Amino acid sequence: MNKELWDECVRFHGHACPGLAMGYRAAEIGMEELGISLKRTADEEIVCVAENDACGVDCIQCLISCTIGKGNLIMRPSGKMAFSFFDRRTGKSARVLFKPRERTDDKEKAMKDILTAPRDDIVEIKAPKYGIPEKAVLFDSIRCDECREFCREDKIRLSAGKRYCSDCYRPYDR
C-alpha cells in the first residue's frame, strides 16, 4: 500500500474507515487487473461502475479520477460491495467483488486487514456482466412546463402533451 496515496484518500474523504479501505483496495486491484499503475487518469479512458454509494467510492474519485461529472464514474447501486473497471484504450475490464467478512467493532483492525490482506482473501475478480459504458453525452436542455426550470432532455417526462421535469411529473399509478 502506498501510504501517501492512502493519506490523500483520507483527506479527500474526511476520515479513515473500513469502507474507504475497501475503495482503496478496489482501485488498487482493479488497476492491477487492467495492467496500469494506480494513478489519476486523463478524461474518460478509465471507467468505474460502482455498485454501491459507500465510502469507498471516494477512493475511486481520488485515486483514478473517475467522477460523476466527467461521466466515467457510473453509479449502479445494487447494494453490493463491487466495482467494475474498464480501460477504453485496451478493452480490458475487471469486476472487483469483496467477499463477506466477519464484522468487528475494531475499525482499526478492520482497516488494517483490508489494506494488507492478500487480495484473494478479500476479493473475487470476475468479468463484468456488461460492456464498457458509452461515453458521456451532452444533451439539450428542455424547459419544464410547470416549474419553468430547465433540465436534460433525456429526463423530461411527457404527460397530456406537456413536458415535466422529474420533480413536477405526477405518475399515473393504478
Over residues 75-124, the pLDDT tens digits come to 998 989 999 999 998 999 999 999 998 888 889 999 999 999 999 999 99
Length of the chain (residues): 174
Residue 12 pLDDT > 80 = yes
Question: If DSSP states are collapsed to H, E and C, what string results for the chain?
Answer: CCHHHHHHHHHHHCCCCHHHHHHHHHHHHHHHHHCCCCCCCCCCCEEEEECCCCCHHHHHHHHHCCCCCCCCEEECCCCCCEEEEEECCCCCEEEEEECCCCCCCCHHHHHHHHHHCCHHHHEEEECCCCCCCCCCCCCCEEECCCCCCEEEHHHCEEECCEEECCCCCCCCCC
2 or 40, which is more confident? 2
Domains along the chain?
3-126 (3.30.1330.130), 139-174 (3.30.60)
What are residue 66's phi and psi, to 5 degrees?
-85, 120
What are residue 71's phi and psi, to 5 degrees?
85, 10
CA distances for 48 relative to 67, 84, 93, 107, angstroms:
9, 6, 10, 26
Please list, residue by residue across 2-27, b when 16 or more beta carbons sit within 10 angstroms of its beta carbon and e when fewer do: eeebbeebbeebeebbbbbbbbbbbb
Quick one: how far is CA 129 from the chain centroid?
Answer: 16
Over residues 18-74, the pLDDT tens digits come to 999 999 999 999 999 998 877 665 667 899 999 999 999 999 999 998 998 888 999
